[in-house]
Amino acid sequence: MLRVARILTGDDADAEDLAQETLLKALRSLHTLREGSDARAWLLTILRHARVDQLRVAGRSAGTLSLNQLQADPVDSGKADSTPAETWEQPAEILNAFSDQQVIDALQKLPEDIRLTLLLVDVEQLDHHEAAGILQVPIGTIKSRTHRGRAMLRELLAPVAREMGLLPR
């Protein structure tokens, strides 16, 4: 939970506050957790709600961006140095070559709704149905956010991959 909070907030102190708030809310609501239900998904839902509460109180959007505000799909941005997804012939090997900090830095540049979706699906390994339940959105939205988020990550990490010699220049 702290790992997800750190990536969401981008700050260790804020992440610790978010995780602590989440645990306090979870303890107060422990009676609502049904036997046999997924405690991790339950905690992540509480974490999501606590994050939304933090943003409301702070009166800021913390990097949120509606997908409708994007000018174009990330891979179609027209940049000469963007790397289309199909050129990443071995994406797992390329991704494993990056340091954790490089991936975290790229994740923190994504809109919060996409970042949280990728954290749930790719980092926490939840299936689309579980992630949809936590985020309270349709499964199709999760699939779309996952696809777009991965494309955005590829675009953000492509220059680093080129510098490391993982992709052709």
Q: How many angstroms separate the first and last alpha carbons of the chain? A: 38
In a domain, 169, yes or no: no
Q: What pLDDT digit, counting tens, does each position of 1-44 carry?
A: 888 888 888 888 999 999 999 999 999 998 888 888 888 888 98
Neighbours of 131 (CB within 10 A): 26
Long-range pairs, 75-79, Cβ under 8 A, ≥24 = 75/151, 75/154, 75/155, 77/155, 79/155
- The reply to whether 91 and 145 lie within a common domain is yes
Domain that holds residue 41: 2-58
Query: Which CATH number covers residue 50?
Result: 1.10.1740.10
User: What's the confidence (pLDDT) of residue 95?
Assistant: 79
The residue assigned the tokens 């149905």 is 129
In a domain, 75, yes or no: yes
- The reply to whether 12 and 33 lie within a common domain is yes
